[in-house]
A and B are shown apart, each in its own frame.
Chain A
Amino acid sequence: MIRLAVVSGKGGTGKTVITSALSQMLPNYYLLADCDVDAANLGLLLAPKRIHREPFHGMNTAVIDPDLCTLCGKCSEFCRFRAVDHNKEGFSISNIRCEGCGVCAFVCPEGAISFTSRIAGEIFLSDSAAGPLVDAMLVPGAGNSGLLVHEVKKIALAQDRKWEIFLVDGPPGIGCPLISTLTGVDAVLIVTEPSISGLHDLKRVVKVAMNYTTQISIVINRYDIDESMTELISEWCSDKGFPLIGKIPFDPWIIDSVRNCRPVTRIDTAPGARAIQEMADVLYRSVGVK
C-alpha cells in the first residue's frame, strides 16, 4: 500500500477538491483519511455512510476541588500555560488552556487537584464509493489536533490492507497537525496557487516535507489567475528539482461541483477536471501505481 498525503502549507489552495478527485480515478483502490481535523471537509464531497463512531479523548485536564483549595496560589505560580484563573470565587482551571502536564497537581500542597478525561472530539469510520474513509470532528476550541490526526491515521491503517493507496487529505500549515500527518508517508503532493503567499508557503512546507519523504510532487491550482506568478513557481520547482506535475486552470465548473457536493471524476470533461485527471495519471505513475 502506498501512503500519499495531499498538503499545501497555505490554506484554501484546493487540497480537498484534489484529494476527492484523486479518489475517483481508480475503482476500489483507496483507503481515505481526512487529517484536517480542525475543519474536515472531504466528507462533504464523498457522501460517506457512517458505519462506526468513537469518542476522542484528548489529554486529561486539571480540576481544582474548591473544598480542599486553600488559595495558596502555587498552581498558578508553576503553570506554564497560564491555565489557572483566579477570581473572587477562588482558583479554577481553564479547560481551553490546560495542556494536562500535571505540574499543578504535583505542586499543590493540599492534594486539591485531580485530572479528568474530557471528550475533545469524535472519530468516524465510513463507507464511500471510493473506499473506507476515516475522518474526525474536533470540538471547536479543543487542543490536541496533532494527537487526533495520529488517531485518525491509526484507525484508518487498522482497516483491511487490501487497498492500494492510503490517500490522506492534509491540514494547512507546517505545525503539529502537519507533522503528525506526514509521519510515515511515502509520497507527498503539494497543492499551491499562483500568488506571492502561495510560493512563500510552498517553500516552507517543502522544507518540512523533505524530513519525511523524497517523493514530493507539486501542482499549481488556478494557475491562469496569474500566469506570471505561475511562471515564477515553475522556475522555482525546476531550480530545486521538484517535479511540477500539473497546472489546473480556474474553472467555475469545479466550484459548481463543490456546491453540489460531488467530486471531480474521470468522466468529467470540463477543462479543470481534465487537468486534474492528467495530473493524477502522472502522480500515480510516479509513485508506482499500475
Chain B
Amino acid sequence: MSAVSEVAAGAPPVARATPRAASIRRARRRRLRRAVWNVVGLGVFLVLVFPVFWMISTAFKPDTEIHSSSPTWFSIHPTLQHFRDAMARPYFWEVVKNSLIVVGAVVALSMVVAFLAAVALAKYRFTGNKLFVVLVIGILMLPQAGLVIPLYVVLAKYHLTNHLMGLVLTHLVILLPFAVWTLRGFIMGIPKELEEAAMVDGSSRLGAFTRILLPLVAPGLVATSVFVFITSWNEYIFANVILTDQANQTLTVWLSYFYGTSRATDWGGLMAASTLTAIPVVIFFLLVQRKIAFGLTAGAVKA
C-alpha cells in the first residue's frame, strides 16, 4: 500500500490530449505485444513438451527410422511392434501385477489411517496437535536416500526384504504424512455450519459425519488417493533396494534395468515401455492435479 502511494506522489498525471487516436494506437500496440508473447509462449510449450512427444514418437517408429542419421519427427509407417516387444519382455506382466498390488494396498491402508488423523487435526483442538503437525511435515521432508539403510536393515531383520509387504509398509510410512496433510486441508474446507445443522436436526455426531462430512470430502479422498497411487507407482529407490528378485520388482525398477549398452539398446522398446509406465500416471494426474497442487503450499496460495 505504502509503495503505491509513494509511486503516486512521485509521478506526474498522464496527459490525455488526443484521446481517440491515442487509444487506437495503444490498442494496436497492445495487440502486437500480445502476439509476440503468444509466439514466445508457443516456443516455450514446444521445448517443454518435446521430450514427451519424442518418447511417444519414437515408440511408434520402425527401427530403421530410429537408427537413421536424419531423424523424422513423425513416422510415416507407425508400428505397434515395440509395444508388443516390451510387453513380451521377461517379467513384464509380473511387475505390472506387483506394482498394482503394492499401490492398491498402500492406497487402501493409507487412506483409512490418514483420514482418521486428518479429522482429528481439522476438527479438534487438542494438546499436542502442533507437535503432531511438526512430526507429519518433518517426515514429509526426510530425504529418502538417507532412510534406505535403516529401513533395509530393519526389514531384513524381520525377513520382509524381497517381499511386497516390505515395500507396502515403506510406502505407507513415506506417504501417510502427505495424505494426512492433504486430507486435513480438504476437511477444513467444509463449512462447520453444515455439520452443526445436521446435528441440530437430530443426527448424532457419527450420523452427521457419515451423511454430511463424508460425501462432501469424497472428492478430496479420491484426489488424495490418486496422488498416493501415483507416488507409490513412481517410487524407485526403496523398490529397487527392498525387492531383489526380478520377478518381485515393480514396473519402475523393471524399466530402470531396460537400458543396456548404447549399441545394443532397443530404443523403440525402451520408449514403448516408458510410455506404458507413464500412461496410468499421466491420466490420473491430469484428473486430480488442480485439487492437489496446492497442498504443499497450503495457506500461501488460495487455490
Q: Do A and B bind each other?
A: no
CB within 8 Å of B: which residues of A? none
